[in-house]
């Protein structure tokens, strides 16, 4: 009916968590249409509107939907591994309401039409919101810069060659120079490619015992050191993806101490697992960068705790069975991570390393601010993207139960705590929890 009030939903009896404002309090939240219109201990003090649907949160945590800034979606080109539909289903099951997809599709996302295709398909599916990265170099050739200005106008939120390193220093210098002119962000998979070539797991005694070629931890630190110097030379914003080593993190800490606009993220495997997860050639634990030694795992966990690592992202990298059921050295890199992003990150809360609000901050407002996305907060007037979860509810990760088309979770079989009961995008419930 023309002029009718948008639908309203009242979330009552909630523990409201809003890292953007520091809110952690019992209270209620009211949405109207696609927007949050009120939240706090006094919201709905005068009663629930007659026309509002009511969701009794029963004391569970209600926070902004997660913002996952590193997701491989595989569509177009490798739909047998993942599609925007199945990736979206996995995302909302994990409480992710905004995700940023990498440009390593076929064709590569290196022109405006490809950027617009991703946005259009995500809207048609109507699950999580999807924001694309665009390639930094055309076709990931590592030599010729993509049309960053046009791609940014089309909706690309940052520029990266995905899981490929921009190895040529002159090309990276030109990319950073161009990006600095227009205030754009360059995201790098930091790994010196000649050192990492043909490697299957992190170098060390375990790789030697298993007879597997190693990837030295220095490959990360060397590339980060070069890139930080180039960022300082050009004045550009630079972001290091999935940092995995103590030495690499040390390079970034020193850069930040000098005031450089350098940021980074990591993924849950790098603070929750170490190289021992490879076990006897367990290909689900073959990741890029590889799982590292225990001292690196501890350093990454400390980096998340002290804020040296800005963001925790899933690095969701789905692979089909044929790609993983190979001898370890030939198997594909990557692990599915959308549905385990929240519970594995909550390990840091349960271990006492982070309070719950800070833990949620690394997953919501921090990536949203970094990429200038309209997400990550419960402030009135912002999109009603919400997650209702119980941080203490335990369950066991069973790869076959994941919503992702691919089941290659490095956490398969692991007991975790943190269960999503409801995910809301633009005021619409898109996931309601199922019994584990």
The pLDDT tens digits of the residues spanning 62-113 come to: 999 999 999 999 999 999 999 999 999 999 999 999 999 999 999 999 999 9
Note the pLDDT of residue 267: 98
Assigned fold of 66-371: TIM Barrel (3.20.20)
2, pLDDT greater than 90: no
Q: What integer is the mean pLDDT of 193-208?
A: 97
Note the pLDDT of residue 435: 45
Note the pLDDT of residue 4: 65
Percent of the chain with pLDDT over 90: 97
Note the pLDDT of residue 1: 43
Please provide the average confidence, as pLDDT, over all residues in the chain.
96
Note the pLDDT of residue 433: 84
Please report, for the chain, the start and end positions of each structural domain, with discontinuous segments joined by +.
66-371
Q: What integer is the mean pLDDT of 289-309?
A: 98
Percent of the chain with pLDDT over 70: 98
Note the pLDDT of residue 128: 97
As beta bridge partners, residue 431 has 423
**Each residue of 13-48: pLDDT tens digit?**
999 999 999 999 999 999 999 999 999 999 999 999
154, pLDDT greater than 90: yes
Nearest to 252 by CA among 208, 303, 214: 303
For residues 277 and 127, what is the distance between their CA atoms, to the nearest angstrom? 33
Catalytic residue, candidates 315, 355, 385, 400: 315
Any idea what DSSP says for residue 248? Answer: H
What is the Cα 273 distance to its own chain's centre?
A: 17
Q: Is 68 a catalytic residue?
A: no
For residues 224 and 234, what is the distance between their CA atoms, to the nearest angstrom? 15
Note the pLDDT of residue 24: 98
Confidence (pTM)? 0.97
b or e along 66-103 (b: 16 or more beta carbons within 10 Å of the residue's beta carbon)? bbbbbbbbbbbebeebbbbbbbbbbbbbbbbbbbbbbb
For residues 191 and 269, what is the distance between their CA atoms, to the nearest angstrom? 17
Would you put residue 337 in left (φ > 0), alpha (ψ -120 to 50) or beta?
Answer: alpha
CB atoms near residue 25 (< 10 Å):
14
Side-chain-side CA neighbours of residue 152 (13 Å): 17
For residues 71 and 84, what is the distance between their CA atoms, to the nearest angstrom? 11
Q: What integer is the mean pLDDT of 150-173?
A: 97
Nearest to 402 by CA among 72, 91, 101: 91
Distance (Å) of CA 202 to CA 198, 242, 305: 12, 15, 24
For residues 124 and 119, what is the distance between their CA atoms, to the nearest angstrom? 9
Note the pLDDT of residue 31: 98
Q: What integer is the mean pLDDT of 123-148?
A: 97
Question: Residue 419 class from Cβ within 10 Å (0-12 exposed, 13-18 middle, 19+ buried)?
Answer: buried
202, pLDDT greater than 70: yes
**Cβ-based neighbours of 302, under 8 Å, separated by 6 or more:** 308
What is the Cα 229 distance to its own chain's centre?
A: 26
Note the pLDDT of residue 434: 63
Note the pLDDT of residue 436: 39
305, pLDDT greater than 80: yes
Side-chain-side CA neighbours of residue 151 (13 Å): 29
Q: What integer is the mean pLDDT of 326-348?
A: 98
Note the pLDDT of residue 89: 98
């Amino acid at each position: 009916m023309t002029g009718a009030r948008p639908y309203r939903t009242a979330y009552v009896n909630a523990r409201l968590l809003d890292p953007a404002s520091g809110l952690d309090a019992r209270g209620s939240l009211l949405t109207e249409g696609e927007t949050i219109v009120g939240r706090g201990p006094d919201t709905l003090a005068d009663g629930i509107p007659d026309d509002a649907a009511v969701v009794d949160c029963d004391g569970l945590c209600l926070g902004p939907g997660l913002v996952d800034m590193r997701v491989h979606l595989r569509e177009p080109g490798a739909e047998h591994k993942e599609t925007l539909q199945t990736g979206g289903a996995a995302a909302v099951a994990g409480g992710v309401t905004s995700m940023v997809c990498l440009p390593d599709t076929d064709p590569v996302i290196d022109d405006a039409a490809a950027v617009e295709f991703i946005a259009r398909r995500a809207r048609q599916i109507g699950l999580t919101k999807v924001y694309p990265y665009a390639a930094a170099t055309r076709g990931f050739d590592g030599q010729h810069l993509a049309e960053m200005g046009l791609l940014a106008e089309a909706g690309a939120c940052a520029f990266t060659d995905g899981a490929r390193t921009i190895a040529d220093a002159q090309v990276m210098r030109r990319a950073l120079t161009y990006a600095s002119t227009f205030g754009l962000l360059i995201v790098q998979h930091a790994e010196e490619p000649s050192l990492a070539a043909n490697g299957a797991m992190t170098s060390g005694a375990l790789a030697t015992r298993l007879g597997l070629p190693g990837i030295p931890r220095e490959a990360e630190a060397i590339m980060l050191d070069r890139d930080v110097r180039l960022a300082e030379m050009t004045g550009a914003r630079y972001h290091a993806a999935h940092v995995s080593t103590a030495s690499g993190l040390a390079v970034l800490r020193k850069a930040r101490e000098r005031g450089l606009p350098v940021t980074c993220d990591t993924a849950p495997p790098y603070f929750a697992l170490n190289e021992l997860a490879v076990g006897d050639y367990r290909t689900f634990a073959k990741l890029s960068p590889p799982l590292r030694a225990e001292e690196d795992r501890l350093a990454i966990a400390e980096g998340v705790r002290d804020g040296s690592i800005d963001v925790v992202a899933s690095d969701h990298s789905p692979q089909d069975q044929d790609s993983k059921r190979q001898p370890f050295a030939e198997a594909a890199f990557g692990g599915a991570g959308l549905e385990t992003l929240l519970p594995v990150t909550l390990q840091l809360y349960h271990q006492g390393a982070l309070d719950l609000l800070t833990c949620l901050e690394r997953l919501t407002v921090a990536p949203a601010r970094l990429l200038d996305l309209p997400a990550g907060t419960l402030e009135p007037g912002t999109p009603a993207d919400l997650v209702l979860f119980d941080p203490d509810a335990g369950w066991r990760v069973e790869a076959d139960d994941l919503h992702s088309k691919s089941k290659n979770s490095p956490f398969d079989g692991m007991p975790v705590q943190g269960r999503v009961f409801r995910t809301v995008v633009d005021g619409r419930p898109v996931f309601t929890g199922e019994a584990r």
